[in-house]
Amino acid sequence: MQRIEETGRLNAGEDKLRDLLTRGLAGDEGAYRAFLQELSAHLRAFLRKRLARLPDEVEDLVQESLLAVHNQRHTYDAGQPLTAWIHAIAKYKLVDLLRRRSKRELLTDPLEDEFSLASAADTEVADARRDLGKLLAQLPDRQRLPIIHMKLEGLSVAEAAKRTGMSEAAVKVGVHRGLKALAAIIRGGA
Amino acid sequence: MRTDDLVSMLAAGAGAVRPKQAARRHASAVIWGLLGAALLMAMLLGPRPDLATAVLLPMFWIKLAFVAGIAAASLFAALHLSRPGVRLTWVPGALAAPVLAMWLLAAIALVRADAAERAVLFFGDTWDVCPFLITMLSVPAFIAAMWAMKGLAPTRLRLAGAAAGLLAGALGALVYCLHCPEMGAPFIAFWYLLGMLIPAAAGALLGPRLLRW
């Protein structure tokens, strides 16, 4: 019953979200930002329900899923139901997280994972425990600098190219590969 | 980093994305895979000497159609498996159809043949090399198909690897048809299929490790 309600809610928002994503994929940055913004709320609800025993992991997984949606956005086909696409990505990341954890727990004492009922249920946005900004520092310069200039300082490709001394193509490739590398670092258990 | 900051970061300068990338990537994998297999075939095996007369026989085209059917079905499967949240509704049927049709032809050929001929129909002259040569010819397509899959977003990694491997096997077999002298339906129904399943099994084995994202 709960699941039906949840799917229904997302379906109501589906058309709007899909419109934002379609415009975003066509190059409308504002629409894409709005899409990611709304999506993070959906992902938080979706993952919180499924990670009830691990509330501390929710926000990290929301961020990891957002990064995955961004990195794999070229696999969305305009004719496809958006809900199915999003849920498949979120579930994939959820399963990946649980697999990583179970591997780690086989190696380490699970005592640290004690959790109290008090922290189990709340609706506000928790802070992510993993700082993506710090992980960014692990990337090589050819990926890190384009991301910092273009994605964080908001420079254009041409400006970022001038600032780094890289070609415009290399800046674009650096951003693309850097964000994928970021996902790989997270996956590696950082 | 707060989630809102991540959203801003991801959106900044995100730019437009070319549509239909799954189809594009798989299409270039097919082209490169076929070219690679043709090159290997030309260098190491050469076409069958009687190719000019063989193309007049229906069995040559049946063999080609069987392999092309599996190539098309596995391409269909790979396309479906490379994008999150796409249902596989028609995929099992599309894969089963060419195999069942070929098995039917093989059964008819075996039933009609004399007892002494049956072993010849099944083993031909080249059963011991056929699956391995198909596997060898499928190596370039295997690399290309895995590359295509890796750049997309499969969520069922074992199945996705198997589909990419089967596609590679079918492309290798397609080129192998130009070299292979065998014309018996039972031979094709078993040894060709085995040759295509070896890369598929390799894909299933490697998928979970190679295709993660």
Q: Quick: pLDDT tens for A8-47.
A: 555 667 889 999 999 999 999 999 999 999 999 999 999 9
Q: Give the per-residue pLDDT at B115.
A: 87
Cβ distance A44 to A125 under 8 Å? yes
Residue B13 falls inside a structural domain: no
Residue B7 falls inside a structural domain: no
Residue B185 has pLDDT above 50, yes or no: yes
What's the token pair of residue B127?
Answer: 């059963």
- The total domain count for chain A is 2
Same domain, A101 and A63: yes
How does the average pLDDT of chain A come out, rounded? 84
Rounded (to 5) percent helix, strand, coil in chain A: 75, 0, 25
Residue A139 falls inside a structural domain: yes
Same domain, A14 and A70: yes
Residue A112 falls inside a structural domain: no
In this prediction, what percent of chain B has a pLDDT beyond 70? 100
Closest approach of A93 to chain B, Cα-based (Å): 9
Q: What is the model's pTM? A: 0.88
Same domain, A2 and A85: yes
* A67: CATH: 1.10.1740.10
Residue of A nearest to B81 (CA): A75
Same domain, A93 and A167: no
What's the token pair of residue A129?
Answer: 């425990």
**Chain A window 19-38: which residues touch B at a Cβ cutoff of 8 Å?**
24-27, 29, 32-33, 36-37
For the four alpha carbons of A167, A168, A173 and A176, in that order, the dihedral sign comes to positive
Domain that holds residue B39: 21-46+62-210
Cβ distance B166 to B70 under 8 Å? yes
Same domain, A59 and A16: yes
Give A53's pLDDT tier (boundaries 50, 70, 90).
confident
Residue A120 falls inside a structural domain: no
Same domain, A98 and A20: yes
Cβ distance B146 to B164 under 8 Å? yes
**Interface A:B, Cβ pairs < 8 A:** 117
Residue B213 has pLDDT above 70, yes or no: yes
∠ CA B206-B209-B212, rounded to 5°: 125
Q: Hey, are the CB atoms on B11 and A78 less than 8 Å from each other?
A: no
If one counts every other C-beta atom within 10 angstroms of the C-beta of residue B23, the result is 13
Same domain, A78 and A137: no
Q: Give the per-residue pLDDT at A9.
A: 53
Q: Tell whether A85 lies on the interface with B, counting CB pairs under 8 A.
A: yes
Compute the average pLDDT of residues A148-156: 89
Cβ distance B70 to B170 under 8 Å? yes
Domain that holds residue A150: 130-190
Q: Give the per-residue pLDDT at A189.
A: 59
Same domain, A95 and A7: yes
* A160: CATH: 1.10.10.10
Q: Tell whether B23 lies on the interface with A, counting CB pairs under 8 A.
A: no
Residue B5 falls inside a structural domain: no
Q: Give the per-residue pLDDT at A109.
A: 53
Q: What secondary structure letter does DSSP report for A135?
A: H
Instruction: Report phi then psi at A116, rounded to 5.
Output: -100, 150
Residue of B nearest to A32 (CA): B11
Cβ distance B185 to B105 under 8 Å? yes
Establish whether this prediction's ipTM goes over 0.85: yes
Residue A114 falls inside a structural domain: no
- The total domain count for chain B is 1
Same domain, A3 and A55: yes
Compute the average pLDDT of residues B60-69: 96
Residue of B nearest to A76 (CA): B83
Q: Give the per-residue pLDDT at A34.
A: 95
Residue B12 falls inside a structural domain: no
Distance from chain centroid for Cα B2: 45
String of DSSP letters for chain B:
--HHHHHHHHHTT-----S-HHHHHHHHHHHHHHHHHHHHIIIII---TTHHHHTTSHHHHHHHHHHHHHHHHHHHHHHHHTSTT---TTHHHHHHHHHHHHHHHHHHHHHHS-HHHHHHHHHTTTTTTHHHHHHHHTHHHHHHHHHHHHTS--SSHHHHHHHHHHHHHHHHHHHHTTT-----HHHIIIIIHHHHHHHHHHHHHHHHHHS--
Q: Tell whether A46 lies on the interface with B, counting CB pairs under 8 A.
A: no
Residue B138 has pLDDT above 50, yes or no: yes
Same domain, A49 and A139: no
For A92-118, what is each residue's pLDDT tens digit? Answer: 999 999 988 887 776 665 544 444 444
Tokens 């095996």 label which residue? Answer: B45
Residue A122 falls inside a structural domain: no
Residue B51 has pLDDT above 70, yes or no: yes
Give A121's pLDDT tier (boundaries 50, 70, 90).
very low
Compute the average pLDDT of residues A49-62: 89
Residue A111 falls inside a structural domain: no
Residue B31 falls inside a structural domain: yes
Residue B128 falls inside a structural domain: yes
Compute the average pLDDT of residues B37-50: 93
Residue A116 falls inside a structural domain: no
Q: Give the per-residue pLDDT at A102.
A: 82
